[in-house]
Amino acid sequence: MTDTTVTPAPQRGRKKLFIKTYGCQMNVYDSERMRDVLTPLGYEPSDSPEGADLVILNTCHIREKAAEKVYSELGRLKPLKEEKAASGAPMTVAVAGCVAQAGGPEIQRRAPVVDLVVGPQTYHKLPELIASVHRGRGEALDTEFEVEEKFDALATPDRQIEGYTAFVTVQEGCDKFCTFCVVPYTRGAEWSRPVDQIVAEVRALAAKGVREVTLLGQNVNAFHGQAPSGHEADGTWGLGRLVRHLALIGGIERIRFTTSHPKDMDEELIETFADEAKLMPYFHLPVQSGSDRILRAMNRKHSAEEYLAIIERLRQARPDIAISGDFIVGFPGETEGDFEATMDLVRQVGYAACFSFKYSRRPGTPAASLGAQVDEAVASERLARLQALLGEQQEAFNRSMVGKALPVLFERTGRHDGQISGRSPYLQAVHCDGPESLIGQIAEVEIVSASRNALAGRLTGGKRSAA
């Protein structure tokens, strides 16, 4: 989860748009859709707010730090907006995303620089909302939950695309209500897109040269989308069936999905890992804690044992599968013993990569009002110990690739002349010397060295395959 900037693809137009994206991949996908919906209005790219007529901050509410970043960015935008207004070039500032959904009118009270607040389900209304700001009708606020309408209006098959990999949101929202988490409040109830709509989008992406799609959802393995035409009698399809179906689309070589919940793992999905070669053998399955007591307090709805059983079943189905996860340390009431249980679970699983966070108290969530909040210094010390272990595991996993031949999807030129870079099936960055003509293709690379964050190798000239 990093801050990223989506720069609109060049298009004829007179107005400039700058979107800054915080948070998860679903926000990255949404930023691209906002760009697409604004392009016909004549918005073209700006790589800084200085040059922009419209600035959109697509925000994240997951941890306090993420949410606060937005207000510091708004603070920076204020003098810029004033300066531009004085020179007769008014700038519109919009706050989108999960802070918009959670904060609503409060945002404009706290930061009057904001002209427009728009929640994640109403991006299709952006043109209308911007027009209303321009007409000077005052405050514009739209944070309803109308997820179905959003996708009908936004996810047009003719989305703009750069590169060879793409995100496709297939599911939104969450009904799990983990006691620490804001997502059920910012993204609403679980909802799945109909299969026909997803297929149309992936086909169009493939036609534009995309080779790898990552299916997104806050609970992506809870996917239950309306079955496609010709299969109406099935009612809905699960994620495994969807993956197999998308694998049939010509040009699509690799499929991934994120993020899954242990409670929604079904046998069909596990089987899909076993027999669908285009589904990459890399699986993100957050567990948060290894202590059953804490898992219960988090309302995760499963035990450590049940999580480990899923991992074992996955490894039987696909022996080369690598696992990544998310962890929270310092959840209210977490003792040293609970934390040790987490460390034990990590040792048992052996992760390829992980995200780990210090618990952040989020107002309005059930855990926020629990007593026994863990001392900040204790949580920091535990996080450091956990990250040291996870870092060692990641390095060991990368080193285990040395000597192997991996299919790499090349995406860009590398840091020096003649170098090209891409991703392994396990999402590792791989660098090697090779012709630019391989960019957009999958070629085999023999790995010769590994560090914590990347692999280096040489082209074998070997056959191209997905994984």
Residues that bind ligand F3S (CB under 6 A): 23-24, 26-27, 60-62, 97-98, 182-183, 186-187, 218
Q: Is 178 annotated as a binding residue?
A: yes
Nearer to ligand SF4, 141 or 178 (CB): 178
The yes or no reply on residue 297 touching ligand SAH (CB under 6 A) is no
Nearer to ligand SF4, 178 or 195 (CB): 178
Q: Which stretch binds ligand SAH (CB under 6 A): 102-110, 357-365, 445-453, 459-467?
A: 357-365
Question: Rule CB under 6 A: which residues touch ligand SF4?
Answer: 174, 176-178, 181, 183-184, 218-219, 261
Q: Which of 150, 318, 362, 431 binds ligand SAH (CB under 6 A)?
A: 362
Write the CB contacts of 213 (distance below 8 Å, at least 6 apart in sequence). Answer: 165, 166, 167, 168, 202, 205, 246, 252, 254, 255, 256
The yes or no reply on residue 318 touching ligand SAH (CB under 6 A) is no
Q: Which of 77, 183, 379, 390 binds ligand SAH (CB under 6 A)?
A: 183
For the CB of residue 188, give the shortest distance to ligand SF4 in the complex, in Å.
11
For the CB of residue 184, give the shortest distance to ligand SF4 in the complex, in Å.
5
Q: Which of 151, 283, 357, 397 binds ligand SAH (CB under 6 A)?
A: 357
Residue 159: half-sphere exposure toward Cβ, Cα within 13 Å: 30
Handedness of CA 408, 242, 61, 337 (dihedral sign): negative
Q: Is 181 annotated as a binding residue?
A: yes
Nearest-CB residue to ligand F3S? 23
For the CB of residue 190, give the shortest distance to ligand SF4 in the complex, in Å.
9
Long-range contacts formed by 366-372: CB under 8 A, 24+ apart: 366/177, 366/179, 366/299, 367/179, 367/180, 367/297, 367/298, 367/331, 367/332, 370/179, 370/297, 370/332, 370/333, 371/332, 371/333, 372/332, 372/333
Nearer to ligand SF4, 220 or 279 (CB): 220
Which residue, 262, 199, 186, is CA-closest to 230? 199
357 binds, among ligand F3S, ligand SF4, ligand SAH, none (CB under 5 to 8 A by kind): ligand SAH
For the CB of residue 223, give the shortest distance to ligand SF4 in the complex, in Å.
14
- 71 with 99: CB under 8 angstroms? no
186 binds, among ligand F3S, ligand SF4, ligand SAH, none (CB under 5 to 8 A by kind): ligand F3S
362 binds, among ligand F3S, ligand SAH, ligand SF4, none (CB under 5 to 8 A by kind): ligand SAH
For the CB of residue 330, give the shortest distance to ligand SAH in the complex, in Å.
9
For the CB of residue 246, give the shortest distance to ligand SF4 in the complex, in Å.
23
The yes or no reply on residue 257 touching ligand SAH (CB under 6 A) is no
The yes or no reply on residue 61 touching ligand SAH (CB under 6 A) is no
Write the CB contacts of 57 (distance below 8 Å, at least 6 apart in sequence). Answer: 19, 20, 22, 70, 73, 74, 93, 94, 95, 96, 97
Q: Is 432 annotated as a binding residue?
A: no
For the CB of residue 101, give the shortest distance to ligand SF4 in the complex, in Å.
13
Axis crossing angle, helix 267-275 with helix 304-317, rounded to the nearest 10: 30
For the CB of residue 101, give the shortest distance to ligand F3S in the complex, in Å.
8
- 53 with 351: CB under 8 angstroms? no
- The whole-angstrom separation of Cα 389 and Cα 367 is 27
Q: Is 354 annotated as a binding residue?
A: no
Q: Which of 218, 272, 398, 421 binds ligand SAH (CB under 6 A)?
A: 218
Q: Is 24 annotated as a binding residue?
A: yes
Known binding positions for [4Fe-4S] cluster? 24, 60, 98, 174, 178, 181
Site residues for ligand SAH per CB under 6 A: 62-63, 180-181, 183, 218-219, 259, 261, 286, 288, 326, 328, 357, 359-360, 362
Known binding positions? 24, 60, 98, 174, 178, 181
